[in-house]
Amino acid sequence: MGLFNFKKKKRGECINQINNIELREKLGDYAFSLLVPGKDYQEFENPILTFAYLYTFKNSNDIEALFKIINEGKSFYFAAQKKTVIRLKIDENLFNQLSEHDSNNQND
């Protein structure tokens, strides 16, 4: 037994939710609320929401996602983990690398 006895919650089977429109919209709406009008964007017309991956887990309500919002030629990157969405400071190259890394892990 270790020094601390933390019980680990098993999240269960990973479920691909990339085609779940409702979940994608909820995450996108929340991510949009993290952007600052006037600083991050002037107008928000026809934004593009792109997901690298989006998963839920069978034995929990946890979400894991990597996605971006493109507007006015700018990309804004976000990650969701468990029940939290955060804005990331990454570039397109790293976003693509993380996307590729995830797709490679799904083949295991």
The conformational region for residue 92 under phi > 0 = left, psi -120 to 50 = alpha, else beta, is alpha
pLDDT digits (tens, 9 = 90+) for 20-75: 999 999 999 999 999 999 999 888 888 999 999 999 998 888 999 999 999 989 99
Dist. CA 75–CA 25, nearest whole Å? 17
Q: What is the pLDDT of residue 1?
A: 41
Residue 103 to residues 10, 16, 99, 108, Cα–Cα distance (Å):
22, 11, 6, 10
Helix residue spans in 10-91 (DSSP H): 21-33
- pLDDT beyond 70 at 107: no
- The residues spanned by each domain of the chain are 14-105
Q: What is the pLDDT of residue 5?
A: 46
